[in-house]
Amino acid sequence: MSKIKVLVVDDSALVRQTLVSILESDPNIEVVGVASDPYIAVERIKEVVPDVITLDIEMPRMDGLTFLKKLMSQHPIPVIVISTLTEKGTDSALLALEYGAVEVIAKPKVNTKQLLEQSKIELCDKVKAAAQVTVRKRTVSARGEEPAQKLSADAVMAKRTVSSMVQTTETVIAVGASTGGTEALKVFLEGIPADSPGIVIVQHMPALFTQQFAKRLNDICKITIKEAETGDKVLRGHALIAPGGKHMVLKRSGAIYHVEVIDGPLVNRHRPSVDVLFRSVSRYAGKNALGVILTGMGDDGAKGMLEMKEAGAYTIAQDEKSCVVFGMPKEAIKLNAAEIVLPLTEIAGHIIKKVK
């Protein structure tokens, strides 16, 4: 299998050097060029067309967002935006997703070995996912060095061996997504009416980005959407999005559902992890839950969805045609964890009929 060709675009020589070192630690990735600004990037693309571009936002001569818009309207190539995660930058990073970037991730943290290893895992995984994405023209309106163990949800919460708690009339909708999920969640949540059951969501996204992402969704959807905090109740007409960099679990006091935001190791190479959320939903909501797994690379959420189904929950997977990356839904389907497979545009309507 040919290597994935990557072009690194960043105005910092140190960042370029770090990214090249991380990416080329993976035997399946080859850096075919570097550029300190978009003008040089254009020349590099003329020499060798990359499979994936990593792109900074703040650069001289032309900013990353302007370059991204031009690229997607003229010569679409999968782009991963790598941001410094400043408060100022979070809005720009979300705009990048709207303009066509496949992913937005943090610049690698290299101050400790553990953080460097996590950065390697995240960046190389995202590049591999991006290489599988078919990008279209638009206008705007096997790894190298890594921790040997891939942790499951057991690292955060033990699997329940007995059936769930006493019956309640309240339903919980649990949703998991990754690559392509920001747009998929927008489509899904725009179709949810104001009186829907409470929703809990894990979207693989870095810290700080989820708060702004939730605000954007809240502005366009009928329901109230916010970044989750420990103690937030799961209420009708509300959706809670797990904060980037933290796991979110569902809990229950009597008939009242609430969430806890917790630290913990990467699960399936992610924090937040869909498997962690889904396991907690299977434990505390059982047959009163509906599970939805949307577009995404890898298998996070597949086993958790199976646990939800085994606990009596109704489960839905997004179909291949409407996915940006048919990874997570595919793995759930392979495990027979999904009761039904639907196009993205039909999922919200199907859920509303199911809960009436």
- Residues annotated as part of the active site: 178, 204, 300
Identify the band that residue 165 occupies on the pLDDT scale cut at 50, 70 and 90.
very low
Identify the band that residue 142 occupies on the pLDDT scale cut at 50, 70 and 90.
very low
User: How far apart (Å, rounded) are the C-alpha atoms in residues 179 and 288?
Assistant: 28
Percentage of the chain exceeding pLDDT 90: 63
Checking if the pLDDT of 154 tops 90, the result is no
Question: Is 102 within 8 Å of 6 (Cβ atoms)?
Answer: no
| Domain positions in the chain | 4-131, 160-355
Indicate the SS3 state at residue 233.
strand
Higher pLDDT, 145 or 325: 325
Superfamily the domain 160-355 falls into: Methylesterase CheB, C-terminal domain (3.40.50.180)
pLDDT, residue 112, reads 62
Element holding 253 (H helix, E strand):
strand 247-253
Map tokens 């199907």 to a residue: 350
Please, how many CA atoms are within 13 Å of residue 128, restricted to the half-sphere of its CB? 21
Rounded mean pLDDT, 133-159: 61
Element holding 191 (H helix, E strand):
none
Hey, do 4-131 and 160-355 end up sharing a CATH topology, with the first three levels equal? yes
Rounded mean pLDDT, 37-54: 94
pLDDT, residue 98, reads 82
Rounded mean pLDDT, 268-294: 95
pLDDT, residue 254, reads 80
Rounded mean pLDDT, 167-196: 91
Higher pLDDT, 323 or 86: 323
Checking if the pLDDT of 90 tops 80, the result is no
Checking if the pLDDT of 109 tops 70, the result is no
Higher pLDDT, 154 or 338: 338
Q: Mean pLDDT over all residues of the chain? A: 88
Checking if the pLDDT of 344 tops 70, the result is yes
Higher pLDDT, 40 or 98: 40
Checking if the pLDDT of 185 tops 60, the result is yes
Identify the band that residue 162 occupies on the pLDDT scale cut at 50, 70 and 90.
very low
Percentage of the chain exceeding pLDDT 70: 87
Higher pLDDT, 46 or 155: 46
As a whole number of Å, the end-to-end CA separation of the chain is: 49
CATH of 4-131, one of 3.40.50.2300, 1.10.3720.10, 3.30.70.20, 3.20.20.140: 3.40.50.2300
The first and second tokens of residue 162, run together, are 């007995």
Q: List pLDDT tens digits, range 302-311.
A: 999 999 999 9
Question: Is 179 within 8 Å of 102 (Cβ atoms)?
Answer: yes
pLDDT, residue 147, reads 41
The first and second tokens of residue 81, run together, are 């935006």
Q: List pLDDT tens digits, range 50-68.
A: 999 999 988 888 888 899 9
The first and second tokens of residue 285, run together, are 């909501």
Rounded mean pLDDT, 186-210: 93
Rounded mean pLDDT, 265-293: 94
Rounded mean pLDDT, 67-83: 91
